[in-house]
Structure 1
Amino acid sequence: MFLFIKKLKDRYISAKGNFGAYNFKKLLLLGGAFLFIIATYSVIRPLKTSVFLGLVGKDYQPYTKIITIFILIPILFIYSKLVDKLKRHQVVYYFLTFYVVTIIITALVLMHPTIGLSNTATSPYRIFGWIFYVLIDLYSPLAVGTFWAFANSISDTEDAKNSYGKIVAVSRIGGIISPLLSWFLLEKINMTYTKSIPIILIVSAILLLFACLCIMKLKKSIPGYLLHGYEAVYQAEKQKEKEKKVSMIEGLKLMVTQPYVLGMFSLVYLYEAINVILDYQMQVQMSIETNNAIVGMSSFMFLYTASFNGLSLIFSAFGTSALLKKMGVFFCLFVMPISTILMMFGLLTRPNLSTVVVIMVILRALHYGFNAPVREILYIPTSKDIKFKSKAWIESFGRTGSKVAGSMVNVFYSGTAYLILTRINALLIIGLSTIWTIITLFIGKKYDKIIKENKTIGEE
C-alpha cells in the first residue's frame, strides 16, 4: 500500500514538479477525508436498517421516506442559508460536526433500558426508531453530498478525471474495514449487542473528526490558487459576489429552470428508485430469514456492505480514472444504465433471492466505484449555487422522492408472490433504465458542449 502511494507521488511530481506535488497532497487529503466519511457511513447505514426493523418493524419502512420528505424542506432552507454565510470548507465542517454530535447522542439513547435496544418489543410507536432512521437517511445528502460539493468546487475537469477514481478507491478501504470490524465485534466478542452497537456508533462518530482534520490540513497546506477549481466558475463567482445576494430558494429555482440541472436530478432519481425497489425486496427476506433479530440483521448488513465496498474498490482503482481518461465522461455515463438493463434480464431468467443479493452487490459497487464519481464531474462547470444548494436539493429530494415512489411500488405489490414480484420489478426497472439512458444522452452532450466552450452553467 505504502509502495503504491510512493509510486503515485513520484508520478505526480515527475509530471508537473511542485504543482504535481501539491496536487498529490490534495488528492491524498481528499481521499483521507472521504475514507473516514465512508467508514462512518458503512457502519451507520447497515445499523439504520437493522435497528429500525428491530424496533419498529419491516412493514413500516416504506413510510419513513414520506416522513423524510417533510423534514427535508426546512433543513434545505437552513442549508442554503449556511452556504451563503459560510466558506466552502466551513460548510463541510458544520455538517460533519453535526453528525458527530448526532451519532453520539443516538448511541447513548440506544443504551437506555426502555427507549433503546434492551427493549425487544417491536412496535410502530417506538418513536426513536423513526428518528434514528431519518437522521441516518439524511447523512448521504448532508455529509457525503457536501463533501463532493466541496471537492467539485476545488477541482477542474482534468483534475477530476485523474483523481476522482483514486479518491473513491481510497474511501472504499474504510468502507471495507469498518463494517468487517463491526461484524467481528457483534459476532465474535463476548459482549451483548445492547452494548456493542452503541460502542460501534461512538467510534464511527469519532472517525468524522479525522475527516474534518484532513479538510483543515488541505486548506492550510495547499496554495489558494490551486483550489480555484474550474476557472470559468471561479471568475463568475468573484463577479457575482460584487453584484448581488441570492435567495434561500436559489438552489431549487436553478434545479427547476436549468434543463442540465434537472437532468442531473433525474439521474439521481432513477438510480435511487431502482435501488430502493431491489433493496426493500432483499431486506424483507433478510428480516424473515433472521427472525427480525437485530444482531442477525446487523451482521448480514455489515457483510453485505463490506462486499459491495470491496468490489467497488476494484472498479474505482482499476476502471474509473482509466476509462474517464480513455473514453471521456460522455461514454462513461452510459455504463450504469446499460449494465442495469443487462442485470435485470439476468434476474428475469433466475428470479430468486440469491440473484437479487448478487445484483445488489454489483449494482451498489458499480454505483459507488464508478457511476458516482463520474456523475460528480458533471457539477464542475456549474456555479457555486448549483454545486452546493441545487446539489443538496438533488441529493435529498432526488433520493428521498425516488425512495417514496419505490416504496409505494413495494407497498402496492406487498401481497404478491415472491417469484411474480421479482419478475414485475425486473420489467419495471428495465423501463426506468431505458428512460435513464435517454436522459444520459442529453446530459452527456450538454456537458461536452459546455466544456468545449469554457462556459459556466447557472451564471447566464
Structure 2
Amino acid sequence: MLKRFVNVKDEEAGPVLLSFVYFFTLMCGYAILKPLRDEMATAGGVKNVPWLFTATFGVMLVAVPAFSALVSRWPRQRVIPLVYRFFLLNLLAFFVVLKLGVGRDGVARAFFVWVSVYNLFVVSVFWSFMADLFVSEQGKRLFGFIAAGGTAGMLVGPFLVKHLAEPLGATNLMLFTAVLLEGSAQCVRLLSRRTPVVPARAVVAEAPVGGGVFAGLRLLFSSPLLLGLGLQMLLYASTSTFLYNQQAHIVDKVASGANARAAAFADIDFWVQVLTLVLQTVVTGHLIPRFGLGVALAVAPLLTALGFVGLAAVPTLGMLIGFKSLRGASHYAFERPGREILFTGVDRETKYKSKGFIDTVVYRGSDSVSAWMYSGLDKLGLGTSGLALAAVPFAGLWLAVSLWLARHQRAVTPAQAPPLGPTADATR
C-alpha cells in the first residue's frame, strides 16, 4: 500500500515508515509547544522579542560545540536518544515550575529561549540521521514522504492545542510533548537496530563521527556548497523573523488573554500544515523528479517575496494566515526536502557538525540580527506595511542563492545520482 504514495523498494519500506513515525512524534511534540512559546512571547511584550532571539543565539553558541563533542566520541545511536532525553528532562522541569507559578515572567522568557533552541536542534539532528541512513538517489524518492510525517505531526499538534488549551490548560499539554519525545528516542533505537538501508554504511554508522569540536565551523568556510547553504539559511531565517514579528503585532491586536492567543497561534499553524500535507502527498513526489531541484528550492523564496508585498497592501490576520500557509507549505513540502538531499552526498562529520552549525547557530544568529533590525525599523515609524516591504529584498537574494545551489549540486554530483528527471535542466 505504501507504494501507492511513494516510490519505495521493498527493503526500504520498514525504515521509511519508521522514519515517518519518528518525524511525526518529533514534530507533533514541537507543534504543541510552539503556540505556548509564541503566547508567552506576546504576553511578555513584543518589544522583548529581539532580546529573546539574542539570548537564544547565545545558548546555541554553547549547545552546538557540546553536541559536536558528543558525536566526536560516541556513535549516533547513543548520542541522539541522549540529546532527546536531556530535552525531555528540561521540559518536565519547566512544567513543574510553571505549575508552581514561581517567577512566571522570567520562566516564560526562559521557556521561549529553550523551545527556540529545542526545535532547531532536534530537527537538525533528525535530518542529519536521515542523511546518514539514505543516499542522494533515495532522498529524492523518499524524503518528501518522510517529511510528510513531520507535517502530519505539525497538523495534529496545533489541533490538540486549539481544542484542549482552554479546557485542560495550556501548560498541561507539555506532558503530551514529553511522551512524544520519548517515542522519538525509541524510533532512533529501532532504526539503529535494523539492517542499514545502505549496507555499505553499516560499519561506519556504528562508529563515532570523530574530529574536533569546532570542525563544523572550519568545514563551513572551506566549502562553497556549505557557504551557500549557510547563506540560504541566513536569508530564510531573516524573512522568518520579520514575519514572526509582524505576526506577534497582528495577533496581539486581535486576541486577548493567554489561552485565546495560544489558540490563535495554533490556528495559524494548523492551516500551514493542512496545505503542506496536501502538497507533500500530491505534488512533491512529482515536482522534484520532473522539474528538478532548482524549482523545489525556488518556490518558497518566490512566494515569500509575493507574500510580503501582499501583507504590505493588506496587513490583516486573514492575509497573514494565507501568507504563512503558502510560505510554510512550500518550505516544508519543497525546500526542506531539497536542502536535505544536498546533505546526503557529504561526509559524516559535515552531516553532524557543519549541518548542525548551519541549522542552529546560523539560523538563530540571523534571528537575533534580524529581530534588532526589525525593531530599529519599527522605531523609525515604517509601520506594518513598510516593514513588510523591507523584507522583499531578502527574499529576492534567497531566491538567487537557492538557484545557485541547485546548479552547483548538478555540476558536482552527476555521477553520484541519476538526474532528477527528463526536464531536470529546467534549473539552469
Residue from 196, 204, 227 that aligns with 2:177:
204
1:361-408 per-residue CA deviation (whole Å, 9 max, x = no partner) reads 221122122211111111111111111101111011221111112211
Specify the alignment match of 1:288 in structure 2.
253
Aligned partners of 2:225 and 2:408 also within 8 Å: yes
Among 257, 261, 266, the residue aligned to 1:302: 266
TM-score, normalised with respect to structure 2:
0.90
TM-fit CA distance, 1:7: 4.4
**Deviation larger for 332-341 or 266-275:** 332-341
**Partners of 1:95 and 1:142 within 8 A in 2:** no
Q: Distance in 2 between matches of 1:67 and 1:171?
A: 27
Aligned partners of 2:3, 2:342: CA distance in 1, in Å? Answer: 30
Q: Give the drift of 1:263.
A: 0.6
Structure 1 match to 2:344: 380
Measure how far apart 1:225 and its partner are.
6.0
CA distance in 2, matches of 1:226, 1:145: 21
1:260 and 2:233 aligned: no
**SS of 1:408's equivalent?**
helix
Aligned to 2:35: 46
Q: Measure the CA separation in 2 of the matches of 1:131 and 1:260.
A: 35
Once the 2 structures are TM-superposed, how far is the Cα of residue 357 of structure 1 from its aligned partner? 3.0
* Aligned with 1:226 (options 186, 191, 198): 198
Code of the aligned partner of 1:404? S
State the secondary structure of the residue aligned to 1:359: helix
Structure 2 contact 25–180 (Cα < 8 Å) conserved: yes
Q: Does the CA-based 8 Å contact 2:219-2:354 persist in structure 1?
A: yes
Name the structure 2 match of 1:17: none
The correspondence for 1:421, drawn from 379, 383, 387, is 383
CA apart distance, 1:348: 4.3
Is there any run of 5+ residues in structure 2 with no aligned partner, and where?
418-428
Q: Provide, for residues 42-77 of structure 1, a one-character-per-residue CA deviation record: whole Å limited to 9, x for no partner.
A: 1111111112333x3322111111112222222111
Give 1 or 2 for the bigger CA radius of gyration.
1
What displacement does 1:442 show?
2.4
> d(CA) in 2 for partners of 1:391 and 1:362?
26
Closer, same or farther: CA 141–186 of 1 in aligned 2, 3 Å: closer
Specify the alignment match of 1:151 in structure 2: 130
Q: Which moved more, 1:442-451 or 1:253-262?
A: 442-451
- Note if contact 2:131-2:340 (Cα within 8 Å) is conserved in structure 1: yes
CA distance in 2, matches of 1:353, 1:178: 21
One-letter code of the match for 1:266?
L
Alignment-derived partner of residue 425 in structure 2: none
Say if 1:50 and 1:298, in contact at 8 Å, map to a contact too: yes
Out of 141, 148, 160, which is 2:120 matched to?
141
The answer for the alignment partner of 2:368 in structure 1 is 404
TM-aligned CA deviation for residue 113 of structure 1: 3.2
Aligned partner of 2:333 in structure 1 is: 369
TM-score after normalising by structure 1: 0.84
Cα distance, 1:441–1:5 mapped onto 2, change above 3 Å: closer
Give the letter for the 1:383 counterpart: D
Question: What runs of 5+ residues in structure 1 fail to find an aligned partner?
Answer: 13-19, 117-125, 456-460
Residues 52-201 of structure 1: matches in 2 within 5 Å? Answer: 52-54=41-43, 56-116=44-104, 126-187=105-166, 189=167, 191=168, 196-201=169-174
Q: Is the 8 A contact 1:91 1:146 kept in 2?
A: no
Cα RMSD, aligned residues only = 2.4
Write the deviation string for residues 63-102 of structure 1: whole angstroms up to 9, x where unpaired. Answer: 1111122222221111111111122233321221122111
Q: Does 2:410 correspond to 1:448? A: yes
Corresponding residue pairs, total:
416
CA-CA distance at 1:224 after TM superposition:
3.1
* SS class of match (2:344): coil
C-alpha distance after superposition, 1:313-345 (max 9, x if no partner): 111111222111112223322222222223334
